[in-house]
Structure 1
């Protein structure tokens, strides 16, 4: 069987060191910019969602898991920034592979939970009576299965990398500088098509469909539908925000990924096009990390209760009111505006 050997750059077309310097500068700058807002925004989001976890009816469970995925990515950024600034990785191969793995886990977990949020908000807008508090356990199951699926499907990313150094070696390459293993052409294309189909195309169709259905619900009154148009508009705002984050952060990467694959497979001969792909692909990879900072903004501007409960006076009052109502109702789950 014909085997393909993937190299990190097509050395016949450009200077590998010049390309490496460019890529390291891009990564270092972008990751430094998103580190602080990503960390603060997602920690704050988890704090708010943890206090008001009873609001699972409005996809808070999925937003909480999305914030966890973003926070995991953010926590690995300082090590990445160190590497790209110093061009050395002194932390050992296992941590390198783990940080490399987290990048893709965050990307596809974010895609998964953005789809879950969109579907839930669309479902509640069109068929609110189908949801009841007993579905909270179902949400936990959906989240757990999602994490398991994402973690398993992302394993090929680190497993296909060939370690070029040992724990005691002076060679300290990491991330994109790790070469790919020998892999057959059919197997490589199968992995690529699967990643594009399950990780991008199907989720994109679902998110856009939810946005169209939610927008359509504003124009007609369906039996059992949400009667409050303001509530429908808030739901539409949330679904549209999920679509915007999806398109801005993940669409560019999945457009350039197949072309980057062709470059690494050395199947292209146009040096200008190869150089363009090698320079634009790191930018799209950085956009995929930008969702760590955009997701908290989405929570703030599209979730009515999120920003209102950030005020110091509002949180204690709401907590006391919730406790009193819980005592009156016997501890039943409460639905907020």
Structure 2
């Protein structure tokens, strides 16, 4: 019998629910039918609220960044890029919801691979952008004098372009992961064994999650420590700490469980985990975790909120100080004339 199960990393719809896994477990009466039935409705219940909420929040964020903020900073450039990547993820959710229930015709195989590749671009582009934001903030806080030479809007824009180039190149092998079979198929899953090779999973986990996570945690921890050791309890410092914590939340909450599930499923595919009940639980955990990973599109809105609030507060403070300075100068001039 051919091996047809795979996790379809962009989406884990019906993961482990057909082909080899079911065949291997049939001797021990291990069935994934209930998991399959549960996920058909559960994925839709997860995707619909994320799609509606995320679409509204990210469109509003782009309106604010592109039209209401007259002057862009390094932070707003990164956030605009993050909002675009989130929108890319959100626009693919209807295709994922359709693929959860329906089969696709054979002539749509290339379109499916293209959409799967875009999903990877959106997910890992978001991961790298959040890591870049942490590094940029770390430079500004820990090395304020060097930051004037290292940080600029041009550098931020160049970094965002580089992120797109890297993730587009890194997702190109996905076109070879799709199994070549006649007839209809389920999109967003059903990868061939090429997608589960140790080197592929090692690169995915190492460069796609562990590396950026370490960069984010280390830079965030040092930035928070520096702000607290400065002894300055200004509103701007408190807002910056909130932004750092929201970035950590937007990264670790959705992506940690999903990549842990990928690692566990890899162990199942390598026959390291053989217990039937464990395989069933891993199947359910991975599918739920991968579905919930899309909530990052909504969590990123926390970062947008704190940054726009900080920018507005900074502008109001600057306007107030400028008005106060002008008033003082006028009062001094009037006194001298008398």
Report the TM-score, using the length of structure 1 for normalisation: 0.78
Report the secondary structure of 2:229's partner residue: coil
How much does 1:228 deviate? 6.9
Q: Which runs of 4+ in 1 moved over 6 A?
A: 306-309
Deviations 1:40-59 (A, max 9, x none): 111111111112263323x1
Report the secondary structure of 2:179's partner residue: coil
How much does 1:266 deviate? 4.3
Cα separation, 2, equivalents of 1:24 and 1:157: 24
Gaps of 5+ in 2: 7-15, 320-338
Cα separation, 2, equivalents of 1:273 and 1:65: 39
Deviations 1:218-273 (A, max 9, x none): 33349xxxx67322222221111111111101111111111112223444321011
Cα separation, 2, equivalents of 1:82 and 1:307: 41
Report the secondary structure of 1:175's partner residue: coil
In structure 1, the residue matched to 2:53 is 37
How much does 1:64 deviate? 0.6
In structure 1, the residue matched to 2:239 is 234
Q: 1:180 aligns with which of 188, 192, 200?
A: 192
Cα separation, 1, equivalents of 2:78 and 2:50: 22
How much does 1:68 deviate? 0.5
Gaps of 5+ in 1: 319-337
How much does 1:307 deviate? 7.6
Report the aligned-residue RMSD.
2.9
Deviations 1:163-199 (A, max 9, x none): 434xxx4x242112x241457x8xx111211211111
Cα separation, 2, equivalents of 1:266 and 1:230: 54
CA contact (8 A) 2:62 2:80 kept: yes
1:196 matched to 2:201? The reply is no
In structure 2, the residue matched to 1:81 is 97
In structure 1, the residue matched to 2:254 is 249
Greater gyration radius: 2
Classify 1:212/1:16 alpha carbon distance in 2 versus 1 (closer, same or farther; 3 Å).
closer
Q: 1:100 aligns with which of 116, 121, 124?
A: 116
Report the TM-score, using the length of structure 2 for normalisation: 0.78
CA contact (8 A) 2:177 2:192 kept: yes
1:112 matched to 2:128? The reply is yes
Classify 1:306/1:23 alpha carbon distance in 2 versus 1 (closer, same or farther; 3 Å).
farther
Cα separation, 1, equivalents of 2:209 and 2:53: 26
In structure 2, the residue matched to 1:124 is 140
Q: Matches of residues 1-337 of structure 1 in structure 2 within 5 Å? A: 7-8=5-6, 9=16, 10-11=21-22, 12-13=24-25, 14-51=30-67, 52=69, 54-57=71-74, 59-84=75-100, 86-89=101-104, 92-132=108-148, 135-165=152-182, 169=183, 171-176=184-189, 178-181=190-193, 188-221=197-230, 229-305=234-310
CA contact (8 A) 1:160 1:180 kept: yes
Report the secondary structure of 1:241's partner residue: helix
Deviations 1:310-335 (A, max 9, x none): xxxx9xxx9xxxxxxxxxxxxxxxxx
- Tell me the matched-pair count: 295
Cα separation, 1, equivalents of 2:138 and 2:229: 14
Cα separation, 1, equivalents of 2:294 and 2:178: 21
Q: Which moved more, 1:289-298 or 1:248-257?
A: 289-298
Cα separation, 2, equivalents of 1:40 and 1:277: 33
**Whose helix fraction is larger, Structure 1's or Structure 2's?**
2
Deviations 1:22-45 (A, max 9, x none): 332232221111011111111111
CA contact (8 A) 1:124 1:131 kept: yes
Cα separation, 2, equivalents of 1:306 and 1:74: 27
CA contact (8 A) 1:53 1:60 kept: no
Deviations 1:89-145 (A, max 9, x none): 369223322222222211111110111112222222233343449822211211111
Report the secondary structure of 2:250's partner residue: helix
